[in-house]
Structure 1
Amino acid sequence: MDPRLLRFYNDELAYLREDARAFGEEHEAVAGRLGLKTPTDPDPYVERLLEGVAYLGARVQLKIADQYPEFTQHLLHAVQPHYLAPTPSMCVVGFEP
């Protein structure tokens, strides 16, 4: 397992919990039904749901991070194809008699 997955997972879970807290403050009636009203004693089913979504989001972020070099290479090839063309080695030489 990739060690970056845990970091992505924790970041995603922290983001989801913060977003759920903000949603709960904004929409109190819905937050009560979802179990988001009490941050000290959250609903275990909602917590498992947030953890599952965080895991899936972390896997997507990991795949995007792994594919980023290929993505940029294809994008650069589409925008400026001559930039990726191999360049022969060159140097400037001066001769003095």
Structure 2
Amino acid sequence: MARQIAPRYWSAKVTQESFALGLEEGVFTWHDPKRIAESLKRSAEASTRRKAPPFRSAMSMLVFYINRAGRNLDENQKRVLEQAKDELRALYGKG
């Protein structure tokens, strides 16, 4: 029986085909932190598959992407994504 070979970067598949959130195309490449946060919030609140509250689901996906992109993430984009975390907290009143 032949073994299936796993994709090289499983984390890329998670961000592209998340079962918890239906993400907008290219959300993590946008340059507006508020727009990113609002999109994540919409996705989390619309999801019927998430296992955690919307805030936690949205924040988890954002942190997951930042951590998995790691050193390959452009410094400017990393700064935008870190600001998106603050925007997400503000949208949910968790500041």
Please state which structure has a larger fraction of its residues in helix.
1
Q: Please identify the structure whose Cα radius of gyration is greater.
A: 1
Fold shared, TM-score > 0.5 on shorter chain: no
- Give the alignment's TM-score, normalised by structure 2: 0.28
